[in-house]
Structure 1
Amino acid sequence: MESLGELWRALPANDLLRTGILLACLVAVRVLAVRALARQPQISIEMRRRWSVNLRNALLIAGLIGIVAIWSRELQTVAVSLVVIASAIAIAFKEVILCLSGSFYRTMSKAYNIGDRIELGELRGRVVDISVLTTTIVEIGPQHDAHQQTGRLITFPNSLLLGHALAREDYTGNFIVHVITVPVSLEADVLEAEHILINAAREVCAPFLEEAQAHMKALESMHLIDTPSVAPRVSLKIVDDEIVRLNLRIAVPRIRKQTVEQDILHRFLAAFHPARPPSADQTDPS
């Protein structure tokens, strides 16, 4: 380390040269790290993407600090001028400053990270990229009750974090609590529908119920929070004089939410609305 320091001080007093060397070193570290991650197939793609984004942001911050240190003398000479134009910069770069503030807020609050599923205002999706100014998500929808990717990438400024409430759908980790809503006519046998729905949920969730229970218990011990029961439960809500809503709450693996929901709904519809034979007026009179 001492030899490196002496070599650095021995360089010509040329700030441009030092800046170029700093940037070249940062780029080299970035390239080598990306190649090293690419040669680690045993690490999940999501984890490698998270490390890559964190490294990129760390190198960017290191580069900014290094450039400020290199040009500190020049910056000191224009300190008075900087104070004079500070207000103009604040006005001109108001949105950039807000984005940086939003990024700082996200980092300090640990609001979300790569791979998390979030909802911010009317935006909803899985986070795939985070920079100091923006966040990019793969949209999930098209409505709130849908859980499929729409194929659209949405990039929003981090300044939105300062003025909107953020919802993180998968804060419990690999297992999440999911609610499935099934509307049923009051003219139908509502209690029978409830019985069929809860049985369908128990059948589908049985293979991972114990693992989900252990996961939730671990969360309680680690974060000192109360976690909901993982056993399937149904609550009834009368919407109006025609419809009653069955709200089914289940614990499911985060990556299988859509699959589990569809499996339960198919089983419910097959049992509650079985295929009916054609009526007499639909049969062939011949």
Structure 2
Amino acid sequence: MYEFFQDKYYVQNIFTSVVVFITLLAIRFLVVRQITQLKISPAESKINITVRVKNAFIVIIFFSLITIWSNELKTIALSFVAIAAALAIATKEFILCFVGGFYKWVAKPFSVGDRIEIATFRGDVVDYKFLTTTLLEIGPTGQLSQYTGRTLVIPNSLYLTFSVSRESHNEKYVFHSFTVPIANTQDWRQCESLLLFAAKEITTPFLTEAKKFFNSKNNAFVLGPASIDPRISLVLPSPERIDLVVRIPCPCMQTNRTQQAILRRYLELAAQEVKINSDLRTGASIFDN
């Protein structure tokens, strides 16, 4: 503090500020006094003029002091900018989580009870706040729709960089897809036929009601003309493998159960087919002998 007052530059600025401040206050006092002696009617006009003059002098005093201390204020402003930048870097994740929570609150991409998938996380939403979202994990892979027993707390910053896939539990029926891989050496036509037969057999009990649901006015506009029956598409991820992609309609809360039933039925049919072919080959060899 002593060194501060020893610096002539700061002493000069302080002295100048005091002189300017006192001078402008004195001028304001004289001007206001002069206005009060004038004969102005109505009285409200004189009061308005007085108030405006006082406010004008306050602004003049303020800008005069800023002009005197402009260099010091510039240094302080640069220091504040540096501090703000350091804080922004240090709290980057916190800020992103808050912004992501605000985006989620405005956009409302999902609600509690919806099943969502974002980045590598998939689960049912049980709670969400401005910084985090809590999920009951579904998995452990994308091919399964059962609870793993784990609770995921994900940062809301993910909503700013990844898209959200939503599976609503509010709908009665949904479309569900899963993949059945087979070797390129297998008879893919036979596998496709057996898998389609299994899908139709398992979905027959609710297929008629599902068609009514998807063809209703509320869903027809969203879906457009779409085939509701189970269908299979072929994908070639590599020369050694063929993926049979199954798409079926099913009750929204029974996707995993329906998928497992179709897979088990398909494996049973495939095993029976292998046994029949084996028996035929054995019978043929006996007949030849």
Q: Under TM normalisation by the shorter chain, which class is it?
A: 0.5 to 0.7
Per the TM alignment, residue 257 of structure 1 is displaced from its structure 2 partner at its CA by 0.6
2:214 to 213, 216, 221: 216
Question: What's the counterpart of residue 202 of structure 2?
Answer: 204
Whole-angstrom CA distance in 1 between matches of 2:244 and 2:167: 21
Q: Per-residue displacement from partner, 1:49-85 (whole Å, max 9, x unpaired)?
A: xxxxxxxxxxxxxxxxxxxxxxxxxxxxxxxxxxx89
Flag the 1:168–1:228 CA change in 2: closer, same or farther, 3 A: farther
Per the TM alignment, residue 139 of structure 1 is displaced from its structure 2 partner at its CA by 1.0
Whole-angstrom CA distance in 2 between matches of 1:224 and 1:156: 31
Give the root-mean-square deviation of aligned CA atoms.
3.2
Question: What's the counterpart of residue 243 of structure 2?
Answer: 245
Pairing of 1:120-139 with structure 2 (within 5 A): 120-139=118-137
Question: What's the counterpart of residue 267 of structure 1?
Answer: 265
Q: Per-residue displacement from partner, 1:5-57 (whole Å, max 9, x unpaired)?
A: xxxxxxxxxxxxxxxxxxxxxxxxxxxxxxxxxxxxxxxxxxxxxxxxxxxxx
2:176 pairs with 1:185:
no
Whole-angstrom CA distance in 2 between matches of 1:153 and 1:254: 22
Larger Rg: 2
Pairing of 1:45-194 with structure 2 (within 5 A): 87=84, 91=88, 94-170=92-168, 173-194=171-192
Pairing of 1:24-39 with structure 2 (within 5 A): none
| TM-score, length basis structure 2 | 0.59
Whole-angstrom CA distance in 2 between matches of 1:227 and 1:141: 32
Flag the 1:190–1:88 CA change in 2: closer, same or farther, 3 A: closer
Q: Per-residue displacement from partner, 1:211-254 (whole Å, max 9, x unpaired)?
A: 22233234755864537432100112334443322111111111
2:227 pairs with 1:233:
no
- SS of the residue corresponding to residue 215 of structure 2 reads helix
Greater displacement, 148-157 / 85-94: 85-94
- Name structure 1 gaps, 5 residues minimum: 1-83, 281-286
Percent identity, aligned pairs only, is 36
Whole-angstrom CA distance in 2 between matches of 1:109 and 1:192: 47
Per the TM alignment, residue 187 of structure 1 is displaced from its structure 2 partner at its CA by 3.1
Greater displacement, 225-234 / 122-131: 225-234
The structure with the greater share of residues assigned to helix is 2
Per the TM alignment, residue 145 of structure 1 is displaced from its structure 2 partner at its CA by 1.7
Q: Per-residue displacement from partner, 1:240-279 (whole Å, max 9, x unpaired)?
A: 4433221111111111011000100111110112285999
Flag the 1:272–1:257 CA change in 2: closer, same or farther, 3 A: same
Q: How many residues align?
A: 197
- SS of the residue corresponding to residue 202 of structure 1 reads helix
Whole-angstrom CA distance in 2 between matches of 1:160 and 1:96: 12
Flag the 1:203–1:109 CA change in 2: closer, same or farther, 3 A: same
Per the TM alignment, residue 136 of structure 1 is displaced from its structure 2 partner at its CA by 0.1
- Name structure 2 gaps, 5 residues minimum: 1-79, 283-289
2:252 to 251, 254, 275: 254
